[in-house]
Chains A and B, each alone.
Chain A
Amino acid sequence: MSETLVLEGVSKRYATHHAVRELSLSVPPGSIYGILGPNGAGKSTTLRMVMNIIARDAGRISLLGVDPAREREVLRRVGYLPEERGLYRKMKVIDVIIFFACLKGVPADRARREGEAWLERMGLAQWRDAKVETLSKGMQQKVQFITTVLHQPEVLILDEPHSGLDPVNQEVLRDTILDAARQGRTVIFSTHNMDQAEQLCEYVCIIAGGQKVLDGRLRDVRRANRGNRYLIEFDEASAEADRFIHGNRRLLSRTQRAPELWEVELPAGDAPGELLAELARLPVPLHRFERIEPSLHEIFVAHVGNAAVAERRQEPAHV
């Protein structure tokens, strides 16, 4: 099965800055794919190029096997949630949902039926006939999410879907994204929140300054970035243990997290077996010996640093 989305050497240049530079990535079908990066990294620009909202200057994009700039019809198979949200304020909630669904080719009666089911699921059933402008921002966002998914698109492209949602609704969103993936849909979303990405994503791509920093399966990314660090915990603090850790020349670094808890680093490539054998011979019983997996946040910070937040600039569409 071919990849749902492939970008090869995609670039977008504005008069004063490079928004995206030589970006390549590929999204396997049925996966949840996170595009991560600080503000101004080029996440939205990338998604907007995929949606053919802005034209790329260079590179190749293949969405569901075709170039969306040439065959716009493919975009009807996509559900897109823009970063800045908005709906027709004067319309009734259910009418807005039906309108967008019909534009995507869903028959009106089916749109109404499924729209009502979605409202029920999102806890908005009683707002069915209310005008959009009377809803809170979070509720409007949920309505917009419904308009994005109701036509059962093969691909969901969500630009910062979590922003502006309270924890409860973030949970609702997470469940719907997982649900969509279970039904075989591909979900691509951007975020600068690493915790959310960590909970959801199977694949990630980290970009900064318009360039790719790393990408791949989250598990592989973690593995590749884990380093050679270990957590050593003894049953109780003891002078022998402290002496052993301090005296061990092979350790590159050692940090005492608690009287009985140490974090140590071995040279890259060194197997931990020997260290473990030495620890086992100590008179103090060993409680835990564990390789430290870096969080996505740590990987992100390690690669991107505290990247300067780029200014928002004029972005003409040039479709």
Chain B
Amino acid sequence: MSEVMLILRREFLERVKTRGFVLGTILFPLFLAAVLILPVMLDDGAEERRFAIVDEAPAGIGERFVQALTAPAPGAETSRYRVEVIAGPLDAVRDELHARIQADELDGYVVLPADVLERNQVQYRAKALGGPSVLREIRSAASQAVQAERLRQVGLELQQVAALIRPVEVDNARITAEGEEGADADSTFLAAYIIAMAMYMLVAMYGMSVMRSVLEEKTNRIAEVLASSVRTSYLMAGKILGVGSAALVQVLIWAVLIVLLVTQSDTIAARFGVEPDAIRSIGIAPDIAVLLIAYFLLGFFLFASLFAVLGAAVTSEQEAQSLQMVLMLPLFVPLLFLLQLAADPFGRTATILGLVPFTAPIAMPMRMAAAPIPAIQIAASLALLALALIVCAWLAGKIYRIGILSTGKRATLKDLVVWIRTA
């Protein structure tokens, strides 16, 4: 067994000591945080905008417009708009405004024309228009001001009408063993998506790493030297466990970072102006986390043994390339059914994908993120996965034993069958 440890240690260190490992470990959580936070931040373009308001409109509309535009956004303390009101007409002040914009004293101006009630239009001019949110906020402020004036003319108050026509909300929550959980549909989908992608990436990446490592030993004949010192089954086990340990370390570091992110969600949310729930949605209950790691490890070992066979059967990385796509196909299938799995985690497709050992490592975590899956299904899926792993590892060991010591051309399927029978 000490030989397995020696090989495990070497494979582990060779991976962990690379720049790629360190970068990947740090970059993935950053990427995750960026996915959650950046869109919100970028869309809001929080920098200050200085506008002139050319007010030609009937009395009251200008004040209401300025009031609505400079009201702080929900959750923020101040508005990002600085406005100054200039009396019209536009023709008299246009040149001066343009000059100030060129001199960068102003970002733009909004004209509220005299016939705004009839034409239903305001003009917005700026050096840089500033994205959809600026346009949306100007439209919303102008609409409020104009609607309020129209309502006043027929004898109604804006607040009164707004209260009458306010939209109805849908309060959604999942029912779990512990009762109701507050996650909404969007965050469920997001969690399923992130977990599926992470699983896929990890299994594919580290599986290929096993393959390359087998191929390296085969092509430069290290395998011949190793095989004279160690049983080939120890060799394969040590290699897969070593690469798996590196993967596990990476996953655990990510887990710690995600726990930090979630427990600090309020602070982070306030700092970046994001909904705390958006961050909390990626938090995972400890029992689910343990199951996820079990699926990851079993899935990795299953695919790693197949990748090891691939590495032992081919003679160059070019030969391996087309075949490794075939190998990864079952991993990819659950991603094709992503929407279905998240939307209907108890449906037939979801159940089948969750039981088939080659799709389960990705499909089950997705289902589990979407809904509480019955324990019996999880147990059945894990048992099938473990069984498939034992059978595959056994066959892989036989092919591996002959494959790593064979030279010449690529092995055909027929060769593999012969090898399994011989070994």
CA distance A78 to B404 in the complex (A): 20
Query: Chain B contacts of A48 at CB under 8 A?
Result: 224
Cross-interface CB contact of A51 among B219, B224, B404, cutoff 8 Å: B224
Q: Which of A130-188 contact B (CB under 8 A)?
A: 147-148
Q: How many residues of A contact B (CB 8 A)?
A: 35
Q: List 30 A-B pairs, Cβ < 8 Å.
A: A51-B224, A51-B228, A53-B228, A53-B405, A54-B405, A75-B229, A80-B228, A86-B221, A88-B14, A88-B216, A90-B18, A103-B7, A103-B229, A103-B230, A312-B408, A313-B408, A314-B406, A315-B407, A315-B408, A316-B408, A316-B411, A316-B415, A316-B419, A317-B401, A317-B404, A317-B406, A319-B232, A319-B401, A319-B405, A319-B423
Asked whether, in the complex, the Cβ of B14 is within 8 Å of the Cβ of A99, the reply is no
Q: How far is the CB of B408 from chain A (nearest CB, A)?
A: 3
- List A299-319 residues whose CB lies under 8 Å from chain B: 312-319
B220 touches A87 (CB 8 A): yes
Question: In the bound complex, do residue B10 and residue A317 qualify as a contact, i.e. CB atoms below 8 Å apart?
Answer: no
Q: Is B319 an interface position by the 8 A CB rule?
A: no
- Interface contact A100-B419, CB-CB below 8 Å: no
Which residues of A (163-218) have their CB < 8 Å from a CB of B? none
Does B6 lie at the interface of the complex (its beta carbon under 8 Å from any beta carbon of A)?
yes
CB of B422 within 8 A of chain A? Answer: yes
A/B pair count, beta carbons within 8 Å: 87
Contacts of B255 in A (CB 8 A): none
Q: Does B226 reach chain A (CB closer than 8 Å)?
A: yes
List of B residues within 8 angstroms of A72 by Cβ: 231
Secondary structure of the A side of the interface?
loop
B393 to chain A minimum Cβ distance, whole angstroms, is: 18
**Counting CB contacts under 8 A, is A85 at the interface?**
yes
Q: Tell whether A85 pairs with B220 under 8 Å between CB atoms, given A315-B408, A318-B422.
A: yes
Contact with A along B375-416 (1 / 0, CB 8 A): 000000000000000000000000001111111110100010
| CB within 8 Å of A: which B114-166 residues | none
A85, B222: Cα distance in complex, Å? 8
**Is the CB–CB distance between A99 and B6 below 8 Å?**
yes
**Residue contact A318 to B402, C-beta cutoff 8 Å:** yes
- Cα(A84)–Cα(B219), bound, Å: 9
Interface centre among A84, A90, A318 (most CB of B within 10 A): A318
**A25-54 CB contact bits vs B (8 Å, 1 = yes)?**
000000000000000000000001001111
Contact string against A for B residues 217-247, beta-carbon threshold 8 Å, 1 for contact and 0 otherwise: 0011110111111111000000000000000
**Interface residue? B3 (CB, 8 A):** yes
Closest A residue to B228 using CB positions = A75
Contacting pair B14 A316 (CB below 8 A)? no
Contact of A317 among B216, B231, B402, B409 (CB under 8 A): B402
- B residues adjacent to A (C-beta < 8 A): 3, 6-7, 10, 14, 18, 216, 219-222, 224-232, 401-409, 411, 415, 418-419, 422-423
**A82 x B6 contact (CB < 8 A):** no
- When A312-B408, A315-B407 are in contact, do A86 and B220 touch as well, CB less than 8 Å? yes
Report A81-111 CB contacts with B as 1/0, cut-off 8 Å.
0111111111100000001101110000000
CB distance from B4 to the nearest CB of A (A): 11
A87–B423 alpha-carbon span in the complex (Å): 27
Enumerate chain B residues within 8 angstroms of A219, measured Cβ to Cβ.
Answer: none
Q: Are B406 and A85 in contact (CB under 8 A)?
A: no
State the main secondary structure of chain B at its contact with A: helix
Give A contacts to B, CB under 8 Å. 48, 51-54, 72, 75-76, 78, 80, 82-91, 99-100, 102-104, 147-148, 312-319
Q: Are A314 and B409 in contact (CB under 8 A)?
A: yes
Residue pair A99, B10 in contact (C-beta under 8 Å): yes
* CB nearest neighbor in A for B401: A319
Looking at the complex, which one of B7, B221, B229, B402 makes contact with A319 (CB distance below 8 Å)? B402
Q: How far is the CA of A91 from the CA of B419 in the complex (A)?
A: 32
Residues of chain B with a CB closer than 8 A to A104's CB = 229
- A contact residues around B229 at 8 Å (CB): 75-76, 100, 103-104
How many Å lie between the Cα of A86 and that of B14 in the bound state? Answer: 17
Interchain CB contact under 8 A, A82 and B402: no
A80 touches B224 (CB 8 A): yes
Residues of A within 8 A of B423 (CB): 319
| A126 vs chain B, min Cβ distance (A) | 22
- Partner pick for B406 among A90, A102, A148, A316, CB 8 A cutoff: A316
Contacts of A84 in B (CB 8 A): 220-221
- Chain A, Cβ-Cβ closest to B419: A316
Q: Are B6 and A85 in contact (CB under 8 A)?
A: no
In angstroms, Cα B112 to Cα A147, docked, is: 86
Contact flag A100-B228 (CB < 8 Å), given A86-B220, A317-B402, A319-B402:
no
CB distance from A81 to the nearest CB of B (A): 8
Q: Which residues of B contact A317 (CB under 8 A)?
A: 401-406
- Residues in A with CB closer than 8 Å to B10 are 88, 91, 99
Instruction: Verify B6–A103 contact, CB threshold 8 A.
Output: yes
Q: Is the CB of B422 within 8 A of A82?
A: no
Return the chain A residue nearest B404 by Cβ: A317
- For the complex, give the distance between the alpha carbons of A85 and B3 in Å: 22
Please give, as numbers and ranges, the residues of chain B lying within 8 Å of A52 by CB-CB distance: 227-228
Residue pair A53, B222 in contact (C-beta under 8 Å): no
Give the residue among A76, A87, A312, A317 with the most B Cβ atoms within 10 A.
A317
| Distance of A126 Cα from B231 Cα, bound (Å) | 34
Q: Which residues of chain B are near A83, meaning CB under 8 Å?
A: 221
**Most A CB within 10 A of own CB, among B225, B230, B405, B422:** B225
Q: A85-B221, A315-B408 are contacts. A91–B14 as well, Cβ < 8 Å? A: yes
**Closest A residue to B231 using CB positions:** A72
B415 pairs with A103, CB closer than 8 A: no
Asked whether B405 lies within 8 Å of A82 as measured between CB atoms, the reply is: no
* Contact A90 B14, beta carbon cutoff 8 Å: yes
| A88 interface neighbour in B6, B222, B231, Cβ under 8 Å | B222
Chain A residues lying within 8 Å of B401, measured Cβ to Cβ, are 317, 319
Q: Given the known A-B contacts A85-B221, A86-B222, are A53 and B227 also in contact in the complex, defined by CB atoms under 8 Å?
A: yes
- Write out the residue numbers on chain B whose beta carbons fall within 8 Å of the beta carbon of A318: 402, 419, 422
CB pair A314 B14 closer than 8 Å: no
Beta-carbon nearest neighbor of A48 in chain B: B224
Cα A4 to Cα B225 in complex, Å, equals 20
In the complex, the answer to whether A80 meets B405 with C-beta atoms within 8 Å is no
